[in-house]
Every structure is written in C-alpha cells, then in structure tokens.
A and B are shown apart, each in its own frame.
Chain A
Amino acid sequence: MSDFISKITSNQPIFDDNDPQDELITLNIGPTHPATHGVFQNVVQIDGERIVSGVSTIGYIHRAFEKIAEHRPFYQITPLTDRLNYCSAPINNMGWHMTVEKLLKIEIPKRVQYMRIIVMELARIADHIICNGILGVDTGAFSGFLYVMQEREFIYEIFEEICGARLTTNIGRIGGFERDFNAVAFDKIREFLKRYPPVLKEFEEMFVRNRIFIERTSGVAAVSAEEALDYSWSGPILRATGVDYDVRVQNPYCSYEEFDFEVPVGTTGDVYDRFMVRNEEMWQSLRIIEQALEKIEKEPKGVFHAEVPDFYLPPKEQVYTNMEALIYHFKIVMGEVDTPKAEVYHSVEGANGELGFYLIHDGGRSPYRLHFRRPSFVNYQMFAPMSAGMLISDAIINMSSLNVIAGELDA
C-alpha cells in the first residue's frame, strides 16, 4: 500500500497491469479556450491528468497574407504585416520596410535608424509584457498582469503620438517615417523610461522569487539546445535553452551594432528560464531606447526619411503645388517606378524569434512572391511532441510561454 502511496506522492504515472482505466480519454483543448492565446486546437489523449500524445491543428485564422501580398503594391503590404504579430506590430512594419529597402538598395540616414530602433524596442517591451503577464495569469497570478497592462497603455499613447494608431500601427514608410517624432512623442518616451522601471521591478518581485511561481514553472518543459535548434527555434525560447542566437547581433540591421546591450541566455530552457529571459530582455530594451535617445540628439535635426523621391511619397502640400512632387506621387501610386528584378531575404529579431521576409520581385507593381518566415509557426510545431508525458496544466503553461500569436501562426 505504501508503495502505491509513494508512487502517487512522487508524481509518477501509475501504470499497472490491474489498472482499471486502460482507455485513454481524448480531450479537445481549443480552438476557443479561455486563456486568450489565440485560436489553435490541440486534441490530446490523456491518462488521468497526464498527456500521452497530442495533435495540433492550426489554420483557424488563416487569412492568406501571402496571396494578398501578390496583389498589392509595396506600401499597401505594410498594413498586412501589422496583423502578423499584432502584439508588436511596429517590428513587423519595420522589418518589411527594411526588406524593401534592401531590395531597392536604399540607404537610410542614421537618425531614422535610431528612431526605428526606439519604435521596435518599445514594441518588443509591449509584446513581452503581454507574454509574461499572461504567463502569470495562467499560473493564477492576475494582479501582475493588470499592473503592467497599464504601462502597455502608455506605450500605446506613444505609438498614437507617432503614427495615430494604437495597435495595428502601420508605422513608417519605405525610406523612413511619414512624419518626425514631435516634441510630445520624445517627452512621452522619456517619461516611459522613468515610469516603467519601477513597475517592471514590482512585477519582477512578484514572480521571480515567488515560491508558487517557481514550483509551477521551474523544470517544466525543459528543452535541450540541440533539440531546439533541430526544430528551428529562435527568439527568447531558444535563448532560454542556452543558445545566444539573436538576429540583432548575428546579422545586425538598422545600426544595432552601435548599441551596447546584452543578450540574456538561460540554461535549461524550462518555462522559468523563458520568463526570466523575456524579463531581462525588457530591461535591455530600456537600455537600448536610452542610448538611442542620446544618439538622436547628436544627429542633425529634422531628418525623418531618406531622400528617395522615387519611393517615398512626397508631402501632400507639395503634391498640390509642385510639378515634380505631383509626378513622383503619380508614379509611385501607379507603380510606374522601375524596380529591380531580384530576390531578397531579410530577417529581424521579432519578439518571438526570427521574423523573415522572403521577397521575389519581378519588376512589377506588386511582389511576385512574398513569404513570411513566421517564428510562432516554426516554434509551435514542437509543442505536440513536447507535451507527451506532461500534465495538462504544465502543457498549458508551456503553451503560454512559447508566446504563440495566432495571427503570426496562420498568416
């Protein structure tokens, strides 16, 4: 009898020849499930509370981005990229603009690059707020989420000041930004740098040494670096396993090589490490934004786009008064500008991993083929094999720590 009790207390599965429950129950998790992660489905076979095997089904929000992109000119694809990883839309926008600039071989002035970095790092903080907050909610800790969501509202205010929209921002143009950051935007960014660190510290203190959180997340879903690399993982979850692959460091874009920041790396790849890596990345993003603000001070004022009249829409006042501006506007909108026939692959460090854009252009108005290398899609394929042998509650925590955004999963 004590043997039986010790099996129960040591959290081992109880497989016995006399086991009356020799059937596995099939449980359907999703596509509508309470933790607002998104619409994907897992049909799992469970033995008691333990998952034996599972099958993932996705595609419940497949919106055919790649097909739409073949019918839209470059500047109309930016709103599409917004809706990929909608929690950090500016990163997608900037990535797309950089891809097109790589194709068209446009040089971007330094000040614009620093402005882009500020916007991207703010978006990264916004995404990590959601991921870590929701991970807290899934373990039962709701208050932390509410505290940091308030700060996310402030990031929305900054985005609104820059581009007018909160969530699906459509920030920037090919060649830079549509307008300069005004003084209010810079003030708000500085205020964010002052008001966010104490809140992040409070959020950290709620979780990092919290006994319940550590018990829930430490040792859960540990992944070795070799397996993670074999499954093409990237982003914070790969860094949690010990591999310091960060696209900002490996293939620097947008002047990231001039910035001084660390890439946090974990050891075991379990959920606790992923939480800590994301947390530390938020601190590093704050450092980067501070440095970017200092660097912008040193650049000539008022530069917010590259001088490429062939691709950058002229200001509307000039279109109505100036002949060249009218001609350029017409050429850009009608797609009469000569663009090179080439293919380019560019990747940025999205909040979830390596977000890549593979663009094949045939010289026409729209791309011939545009493929998004979506990190959530590639990361999520390991979920079903990984959840074999886990408790259901651990699998849910694992799912939320992978930070799968449904828009990016299905594209």
Chain B
Amino acid sequence: MSMKAWKTLTNGILKENPTLRLVLGTCPTLAVTTSASNGIGMGLAATFVLVGSNIVISLLRKVIPNKVRIPAFITIIAGFVTIVQLVLQAYLPEINESLGIFIPLIVVNCIILARAEMFASKNPVYLSILDGIGMGIGFTCALVTIGAIREILGNGTLFGMELTKGIIDPAIIMILPPGGFLAFGFVIAMVNRLTNKKVEHNPCASCGMNCGKLAEGREEVASK
C-alpha cells in the first residue's frame, strides 16, 4: 500500500476523526448512543453509505455539472440510504427498530455530504473507497466509545452484559437525552486534553454546506 493510500485511510480514524475532531454528524452521535451496540449498528450503516456514495460520486465526478452537484450528491446518498433501510428492515429488524428515523436521516448526515464534496468529487475511486472506510471506522469508533460510556453509567451494562450490578446503581440520566450532551462534551474535552489541541468550535466548518460561514457572511454583509 502506498504512503498516500495509507494516509488517506488513517486520516479519518485519528487525525480528522469526523465526530471527535471535525464534529460532524452530531445528531446521530447524540441520539443513538444509548448503548454500544446501537453505536456499532449506526456506525456500520453510515460506513456502507459513505463507501457506496464515495465510489459512485468519484466515478461520476467528471460527469456531474458543478452547478447541480449538491442535489446530485444528495440523490446518490439517498439511494444508498434506501438500500440500507430495506436491508435492515428485512434482516435486522431489531436494529432498525432501535435506530428508528436516524437510519433515513443518514441522508442529511454532514459527514457523508462533506466527504462527497471535499474528497470523492476530487479524487480517484480507490482513494475515495479508502477515505470512506477510514471515515466510517472513525465514526463507528467514536459512536461505540460514547455508547459504551453511556451504557455503563446509565444502565450498568456493556453490550448487554451486566457489569456494575450490586456495585454501583446506574444513573439513568446518562441514557436519557441530557446524558447524551454530557457524555459527548466530556469525551471531546478528553480528546482535547490528550491531543493538546482544541477542537475547532465551528461544527459546520468542514461540512460541504458551509452553514457557519454563510451565517458569518451575513454578519459581514449587515455590518457593511
């Protein structure tokens, strides 16, 4: 494996981890991490969509006109999401049940659109596949970590196994919505501490849609 390919693969796992460093896809990160196994389910579903859409977008990168690229990307992504949805409904109904509307909502997950816009539309197929796999693994690892923390503290179990029974009473709040924000906040703080770098405080900075920049642009326009 060449150096560049290796770098592309590991980029998403550590240096530019989509959840912990780029802070993309926060909605599913907070919503589905009530248990570690939910995190795996969501992570793998998103990885499949990410790799699939990266392949197709990379193949079509010279065909799609620049002006309609975002709608085109979204349609391609939605196609792969529908595949995941139907497969989960048919073969893994429990996972489908516990992830609920967050499976169809993978369509609007910034990670996927951001990788389409920033990587797959500019790079050859084999690199785009590696990028998709790397980012997908990075996303899955982050979800499993947060899911495990919340499951242990909030339910006293890990992957359904009893861990703290009779030792500590679980704090149910950790598997309720406030616990999601709390756990994610502490994990990001931990990452800050370990890497000695601060996570950019603009969650949309690396997303293709540039929400943050547009909002800031408005202030500039208003001040002129």
* B partners with A: no
Please give the residue numbers on chain A whose beta carbons come within 8 Å of chain B beta carbons, in ascending order: none
Please give the residue numbers on chain B whose beta carbons come within 8 Å of chain A beta carbons, in ascending order: none
